[in-house]
Amino acid sequence: MTSCSVAGPNPTHPDSGAEAAQLRLLEGDGAAEPLRLALATLGRELTGWSLVQVHHRPGAGATGIYQVQTEAEHGSAAAEFLCISTATVPTDTPATVQLSSPDGGPTLTVWQHPNDPLLPGLSWACDAAAVGTALFAGALPVLATVSYRPLRRAVLTADIAGERRYLKVLRSGQGAHLAERHRLLINAGIPAPSLIEVPAQDVLAMLPAAGTPLAELLMSDGARSLQPRTLVNLLRSLPTAALHLPDRPAWSVRVKDYARGAIAVLPSEEPRILALAATVHRLVTEVDAGPRVPAHGDFYEANLLVTGDTISGLLDVDALGPGHLVDDLACFIGHLAVLPAVDRRYSHIPEALQRFLAAFDQEVQPAALRGRAAGVALTLVAGAKHRATAQDPISWKSDALQRLAIAESLADQALALRH
């Protein structure tokens, strides 16, 4: 897309009310005008549109993904995807349209997928011919998007004749840093996915890791065959060289930021959310977290593959670096605790939760574990809204409320143990 003029403020840290207003814009009929204006720069007319999903980063803006139907000047019709973001994007970014809000709201940036302005390799990763040349000797693979977080990262699969490769698309300059983390882990005997070199900027191609996703085992029987100590041993085996990598704050440390995101989707629960965030912040600040050690940074069931009674795959190692054992274990517990809210088929989770908590209590401060797990669970409240669909636009609220109640329960347990 051609760049347009830019005007209007774009607050870096809007309050929850401003973020709620941004979400209403992206989720409502107000999105039609930015879509129309952006397509007009391409000489196309908007004939129809629908919201696919909204991604919200507390304190850093929100982005809506839309499927649009268009008609060109010569009458041909097409369907494509456009993104509208309230996040700060450099004004000279190519292939974007930037529109100022007449009411003094944030500047809106619009682009046509896959031309994400901060993910330079996404267009390559969405080109079956280019991917096939790099990974399958020229044969055309079937590409599918596993996840797309606009302006942050994307994960795609490339499949052909029973073979699969994963493509992880990162922001400019981040590819080399993630490749370093993979090499550190592999050299230390940690089962991170192996990399394949590709001629694309900040795209990592990976072979699949072996094993069954831990989430599947938790759903089937609470992962009874997996001893909690196995997770602790894996974390204690992370290479000490990770201590020299950049430090990233744990999820619970940023609890006040994520509280804004929760309030934006559940504004009626603002007093509860603020009270919970204050409690978690106090627990994180006052309860000993233990020594600094190498940490995974996003350690939960979706990033673990299991073969027999061992961990055979450790995924999503972007946040590998210095941290605390309690934060990795709390990340696992926070995600584990909310699984029944995500899917009712996780009927074995209450028993599994107690089993993992009992084991982890032997390794870290029990109050710190539950307090930080409460913070992790609170970060997951806003994500419940991602599950909304046009056919079922409401039921996500009960999911979000259940996640909030789970976070409160963990915080209450932490307070009781502390006293």
Predicted confidence pLDDT, tens digits, the chain (419 residues): 433 332 333 333 446 677 778 888 898 998 999 999 999 988 889 999 999 988 988 778 889 999 999 987 666 777 799 999 999 888 777 778 888 766 667 789 999 999 999 999 999 999 999 999 999 999 999 999 999 999 999 999 999 999 999 999 999 999 999 999 999 999 999 999 999 999 999 999 999 999 999 999 999 999 999 999 999 999 999 999 999 999 999 999 999 999 998 998 899 999 999 999 999 999 999 999 999 999 999 999 999 999 999 999 999 999 999 999 999 999 999 999 999 999 999 999 999 999 999 999 999 999 999 999 999 999 999 888 876 554 455 678 999 999 999 999 999 999 999 97
Only one residue has tokens 């085996």, namely 237
- Cα dihedral 62, 66, 72, 78 sign: positive
Cα–Cα dist 83/66, whole Å: 6
Beta strands (DSSP E) in 269-413 are 292-295, 304-307, 310-314, 321-324
* Cα dihedral across residues 87, 64, 374, 229: positive or negative: negative
Q: Which residue has the tokens 């809106």?
A: 108
Closest to 414 measured CA to CA, from 281, 262, 229:
281
The amino acid occupying position 256 is K
Instruction: Assign 367 to helix, strand or coil.
Output: helix
DSSP assignment string, 217-254: HHHHHSSTTS-HHHHHHHHHTS-GGGGGSPP---GGGG
Q: Do β-strands 203-206 and 108-112 pair in parallel, antiparallel, or remain unpaired?
A: unpaired
Superfamily of domain 212-418: Aminoglycoside phosphotransferase (APH), C-terminal lobe (3.90.1200.10)
The per-residue pLDDT for 102 is 61
- Structure confidence at residue 15 (pLDDT): 60
> CA 319, CA 296: separation in Å to the nearest integer?
6
> pLDDT at position 394, please?
63
Q: Where are the domains of the chain?
A: 16-112, 122-206, 212-418
Beta bridge partners of 67: 50, 81
Whole-angstrom distance, CA of residue 215 vs CA of residue 341? 14
Residues in the chain: 419
- Closest by CA to 14, choosing from 2, 5, 27, 23, is 23
User: What is the number of helices (H) and of strands (E) in the chain?
Assistant: 13, 15
Q: What local confidence, expressed as pLDDT, does residue 8 receive?
A: 32
pLDDT at site 2: 39
Percent of the chain that is helix, strand, coil (3-state, to 5): 45, 20, 35
How far is it, in rounded angstroms, from Cα 165 to Cα 187? 21
DSSP H or E run through 283: helix 270-286
Structure tokens at 375: 């913070």
Q: What is the pLDDT of residue 385?
A: 80
Give me the residues paired with residue 30 across strands: none
Would you say 250 and 326 are in contact if contact means Cβ atoms under 8 Å apart? Answer: no
Fill in the DSSP letter of residue 3.
Answer: -
3.30.200, 3.30.420, 3.30.160, 3.90.105: CATH of 122-206:
3.30.200
pLDDT at 387: 65
CA gap 245, 265 in Å, rounded: 34
